[in-house]
A and B are shown apart, each in its own frame.
Chain A
Amino acid sequence: MTGKELGDVIVEAHGICKRFPSGVLALNNFSLTVRSGEVVVVVGPSGAGKSTFLRCLNGLEDVDEGSIVIDGALLDHTKANRQKIRTEVGMVFQAFNLFPHLTVRENIDLAQVLVRRKSRKEATRTTMELLERIGLADKASAYPAQLSGGQQQRAAIARAVAMKPAVMLFDEATSALDPEMVGEVLEVMKGLAKDGMTMLVVTHEMGFAREVGDRVVFMESGRMVEDGPVESFFTAPREERTRVFLSQIL
């Protein structure tokens, strides 16, 4: 993975603070820069603010302080800006969140037609190509409830990828899956990484992080603890706290 060509800055989060109404400080002066084509894996104990960070990046949560720039555009509080930026940020959720009243094909077509203003035919062509690639072409007219968890999550990834976003966020995409289905979803994510997709991945799959990640970010209590290349993170972590964390999970 070393020597990968990295492009422009796609995500630039600077000094983000986020306090929940309950008083919990989820993000405490957190900064992170992600370049085009980079796969950044975010790890840390639960409650570290990993998911909150991803949700801030596409405006699902408001930040209290700090700035977020996605592909050159500053995220602000206006509706139009937020909507525009969201089209550049694909998100994959732990609970898939497919639309249950639409077929797999309709799920993937929907935003292409409504947001990207493609014709239905064009959208469906993109959809079918994607489904072909992830091995779900035969499920195009199935409803989400008729699919297994792994199939649903693959379809959800396809739905986000179909928008051709500048960056993809994965919020514990495999945590809700039965163990035997984790592999098929990780395969799809690996394929995306190979195609040069910029990815921010919150995961507990350390094998995936090692194999696909370029950088690993370790966070705790809303702060950055360590940010480094994948090889040195696992073999020679700088921080004591990282060492303890790794010894617990590896």
Chain B
Amino acid sequence: MTFAQYVRKNKLRVRWQPWGDVLKLALTVVFCVWFFARGAGELDYNWQWRRVPRYLFSYENGQFTPGPLLLGVLVTLKASALSLVLAFAFGLSAALFRMSRSFAAGLTAKVYVEAIRNTPLLIQIFFTYFVLGPVLGIGRFTSAVLALSLFEGAYASEIIRAGIASIPAGQWEAAHSLGLSSFHTYTRVILPQAMQRVLPPLTSQGVSLIKDSSLISTIAIYDLTMQGQVIVADTFLTFEIWFTVAGVYLMMTGSLSLLAKFLDNRLKGGNAAC
């Protein structure tokens, strides 16, 4: 029972105090505005927000031209989307390897997860690009996607493993006793239930992935961060550009969270009661 239902059922009267709430909100807003205005003033910085939009896009004579930031967004989105899919594949494989009865598979997954989780992503990106890249014959962008997805995949594997382990033994036994193969037991019984449980933590891993993708700028991929860096170097609009860049990241991660929420609701639609 939710609190609201509890209140209704027991006919508890909670006095709503609108003026108190309005006052609190107003005070908070005033404080925030004052805080930032004061901070910006103290900075002794010449704010030039009007110079920012042209780096996002321009619209002249009915002609839409994306600016460098928007082009960067496209690169970030492409790298993140590809890495997201690959990271899920790596994560799922590693989780299944880890849970398999094969010693070699389990060890491989364990070494992978531990090695990735205990070293900095920045170095992994360098390693992939400078060491693995020439050996595998893959380019800059592919190296970046590979490094990112291997990194996030290691975290995803632990999340997925926990999700699979949280499914009660009775579900396995029921599936087995019906004669289902291991493959069908996983794909039709265990994973659908596990995925529903791990969607929220996987989403926050996806959000991390989008933010971590800013590190691929270090191997000169012109993603959102790299474009921002270039513009700042050219124009010295340090704070305006970086705040804009942060805002765009916020929009991307926010969209992903919303999408996940929508998916979660659809998955839960069926068995809301459990």
Contact = CB atoms under 8 A, between A and B. Distances in A.
Interface in A67-83: 79, 83
Contacts, number: 77
B173 A97 contact: yes
Contacts of B193: 99-101
A143 B174 contact: no
B263 interface: no
Q: Is the interface of A mostly helix, strand, loop or mixed?
A: mixed
26 contacts: A58-B176, A58-B177, A60-B176, A60-B177, A79-B182, A83-B179, A83-B180, A86-B176, A86-B177, A86-B179, A90-B177, A91-B177, A97-B170, A98-B174, A99-B193, A100-B193, A100-B274, A101-B270, A103-B270, A110-B180, A110-B188, A114-B184, A115-B178, A144-B274, A145-B271, A160-B178
Q: How many B residues touch the partner, as a band?
A: 20 to 34
A84 B196 CA distance: 31
Q: Is the interface of B mostly helix, strand, loop or mixed?
A: helix
A232 interface: no
Contacts of B175: 99
Interface of A: 58-60, 79, 83-84, 86-87, 89-91, 93, 95, 97-101, 103, 110-111, 114-115, 143-146, 156, 159-160, 163
A54 to B, nearest CB: 10
A218 B175 CA distance: 29
A113 to B, nearest CB: 10
A115 B270 contact: no
B192 interface: yes
Given A101-B271, A143-B271, A93 B184 contact: no
Contact of A115 (B171, B174, B180): B180
B270 A143 contact: yes
Nearest to A107: B174
Interface string B171-209: 101111111111010001100110010000000000000
B273 interface: yes
Interface in B31-76: none
Contacts of B178: 86-87, 110-111, 115, 159-160, 163
Interface in B246-272: 270-271
Nearest to A86: B179
B266 to A, nearest CB: 12
The 4 closest A-B pairs by CB, nearest first: A87-B179, A97-B174, A145-B273, A111-B178
